Structure 1
């Protein structure tokens, strides 16, 4: 009988402790609100970072998609003298590689240096399009922690001001508002900055892979133009 009462007592105490923990559980929305107005630009920067990441990710993924038989078909058309068919194929494929090759085909008959320069110019434009938005993402990665630290300074100033105003009646409640602002904005700024930093480097790595592909296809096309003269 005593064992049963002990178990019931333990269960009751456990329930009370669980209820108390649930009541004291951190509400992240309330905590963010206590971060003050600094949280607004951080929230906007997070939206900007997420938008740029997904928009650039799908754009780069599309640009990286390549038809493995494309260059073989281009080679056959050029060797057969069917330049119009080669240009038509480039228009159908419509990716950075095809646009570069189309520019090269349109320059066939001119010195090879002119052809190579024309292809490189198109390639530079394609790379610029792929990198659109990446400087902004890099700015978010560097700027968000700085804004968070600004919130930290503001929060600490507020805490010391409240401390000075309270005089001898200082308690934790007086300082809590400023400390909340200081700590919450620091964490928020670091979180946004770290995520944006990793997102930026991930996209840069993807762009570099596309650049490598463009360079490889340029060399392949220039070698192709040298074949008839061999």
Structure 2
């Protein structure tokens, strides 16, 4: 019966947050649409003045005689790798917001440090019921673990079938299980930020290589007379992909480390108060 309850709690925590299998394909479609209809908008391009200039239509954007008129047009000229890099950037932003709200919720109501200090103070006075009330008010991951530990604390305090050493082992096990149940919710989707921190750079490198290949191909096809326009397009494609990839990777790594530090902070608070629970039980029981 206990195993079934624990399994239900694990499923509930794993179900929290966004589902990458659903969200990432949607973001990929969004990235492609941004590349085609926002970055590739005719308003971001101008026709070659040597050919008379004039307005540009969507059907003309792929023409060789069009030149980007602004920064968005320049990004569009980065080629087919750009939609992937745009998707990566959107994914980093979306899952960063998701982690921010989830971890804020996990931190609970009020200041976690004050909660830990208050509960430790109550435990030093053996006021377990008051400490449980504080957990109900805290409503976060730390409060959930502490509440489970204190509930076990009360049950073991009235248990006459176990000796003190066995009670300490049971208490420690209950706290460890409660902590393990909270971790999936805290760490979910962190792997996405970690992966994009590396993959974005590699995909950008692919786009850079493709752009340089185009530049050298244009140089070779010109028969010794460099085509400045073709060369500039190839080199621009290479640099645009590099810039997008490095920027996305940098943001992903910074945010990953930021959220990791928050998770480590919550874990440390759990360990700190768990030790107080064990010390209080050893002292009073």
Is 2:177 the partner of 1:115? no
Is 2:63 the partner of 1:63? no
Which of 257, 271, 277 pairs up with 1:201? Answer: 257
Deviates more, 1:52-61 or 1:64-73: 64-73
Is 2:147 the partner of 1:102? yes
Structure whose alpha-carbon radius of gyration is higher:
1
Corresponding residue for 2:239? 183
Q: Any gaps of 5 or more consecutive residues in structure 2?
A: 1-67, 157-161
Contact 1:166 1:174 (C-alpha < 8 Å) held by counterparts: no
CA distance in 1, matches of 2:127, 2:254: 48
Shift of 1:79: 3.7
Shift of 1:55: 2.1
Deviates more, 1:141-150 or 1:49-58: 49-58
Q: Any gaps of 5 or more consecutive residues in structure 1?
A: 1-24
More helix by share: 1
CA RMSD in angstroms, aligned pairs only? 2.5
**Comparing both chains, which one has the higher relative contact order based on Cα–Cα distances under 8 Å and sequence gaps of 6 or more?**
1
Contact 1:144 1:190 (C-alpha < 8 Å) held by counterparts: yes
| Matched positions, count | 202
Shift of 1:81: 7.2
Shift of 1:187: 1.0
Contact 2:119 2:131 (C-alpha < 8 Å) held by counterparts: no
Contact 1:36 1:181 (C-alpha < 8 Å) held by counterparts: yes
Corresponding residue for 2:83? 40
CA distance in 1, matches of 2:80, 2:122: 58
CA distance in 2, matches of 1:122, 1:92: 18
**TM-score after normalising by structure 2:** 0.63
**TM-score after normalising by structure 1:** 0.77
Contact 2:207 2:241 (C-alpha < 8 Å) held by counterparts: yes
Shift of 1:92: 4.1
Q: Residues 55 and 80 of structure 1: is their aligned pair in 2 closer, same or farther, counting only changes over 3 Å?
A: closer
CA distance in 2, matches of 1:172, 1:140: 35
